[in-house]
Each structure stands twice: as structure tokens, then as C-alpha cells.
Amino acid sequence: MATGDVYEINYHDCSYSIDMGLKTCGCGMWQLNGIPCNHAACVITAKKQKVDDYVSDYYTTIRWRKTYECSIKHVEGMKLWPMLNRLPVLPPPNRLGNRGRPSTYARWKSANKSSSSSSKTKLSRERRVMTCSNCREEGHTKPKCSKPSVQPEPKCPRGRPKNDQL
């Protein structure tokens, strides 16, 4: 649908209004970039015109040459800069430790250190004994276990027994 230089485009169940005189589109990309969006390009090609004629002047080589025709003055060395009465720029702080999530050993170690405050509801980790779920030995866990995996003991069925089991 067109009214003067204003057109309406339906694209993927969404309608956009394009004003060819103001070079605007409802999506806002034409105003933002200065290059016609696909909605505006659809209208331009339907009018049998070139899309390049509607691109902003800022993308032309004439404008580029005009931008860089003046020479850029060099900057003097830092020793010649004026001294200001401000605090100096501080370097970034030194990091203690490595980046990322700590290893399981480091987490267990830190949990033992921080458990010095006595809690009445939780048992601290320093009094717990780690047992392997694979070999049932103390002192290590299943990922660090070197023994082959053991089949777990069969569990008793839970709940009330059925009539045919009596």
C-alpha cells in the first residue's frame, strides 16, 4: 500500500512503513546505518530504481577524501605533557591464586578452614570421613579410585509386599 512517498511492507507477519522522502523505515536500520534495509530495498527495486542512489553520502569516496584531507598533528612524548595535580593511574591489583573454579581438593581444603565457627545444625567437613562409593574405603572418592568398579549390593524392594510374594 502506498500513499505518496510512504509505503507499507508486510514481511514475516509484521508490517513496516517506509518513507522514501525522509529515507526512514519502521525497523530503524535505514536511519541507523544510512544504508537502505531490506524493506526499503524492496520498495526501491519495485520502483525500478537503484539501491545505491539511496545510500547516505557518508559512504562516498568524496566524503571520505574530505574527512582525511587535513593532516593529523602528531602527539608529543609523555615527558612533554603538562603535569596535573591528580592521583596517578594505579596498575591492576595482583591476583592471588589461579583463575576459574578451584579444584575439588582446594574446595575441600577451604571448607575445612572456614568451618572453625561451630554450627549446631551441620557437621563440619573436618570431622567427616570421605568414603569411596566404588570400593567403600575411606580417604578418597570415586573419581580418584584406582580399583575396578564393583557391582552394588541389590536393594530390598520398598513398600508393602504383594500378595503373591507371601
Please report, for the chain, the start and end positions of each structural domain, with discontinuous segments joined by +. Answer: 2-67
Residue 4 pLDDT greater than 90, yes or no: no
Pairing of strands 6-10, 15-19: antiparallel
What pLDDT score was predicted for residue 18? 92
Residue 30 pLDDT greater than 70, yes or no: yes
What pLDDT score was predicted for residue 131? 84
In this structure, the number of other CB atoms found within 10 A of the CB of residue 43 comes to: 22
Comparing 119 with 26, the larger pLDDT belongs to: 26
Q: What is the pTM of this model?
A: 0.41
* Confidence band of 94 (pLDDT split at 50, 70, 90): confident
What pLDDT score was predicted for residue 41? 93
Give the residue among 43, 35, 51, 57 at the shortest CA–CA distance from 4: 43
Comparing 22 with 151, the larger pLDDT belongs to: 22
Residue 50 pLDDT greater than 70, yes or no: yes
pLDDT digits (tens, 9 = 90+) for 114-136: 545 556 676 666 667 788 888 88
CB-based contacts of 23: which residues, under 8 Å, 6+ apart?
30, 31, 36, 40, 54
Residue 95 pLDDT greater than 70, yes or no: yes
What pLDDT score was predicted for residue 166? 52
CB-based contacts of 116: which residues, under 8 Å, 6+ apart?
none
* SS3 state of residue 10: strand
What pLDDT score was predicted for residue 1? 53
Average pLDDT of span 62-81 = 87
Residue 107 pLDDT greater than 80, yes or no: no
What mean pLDDT, rounded, does the chain reach? 82
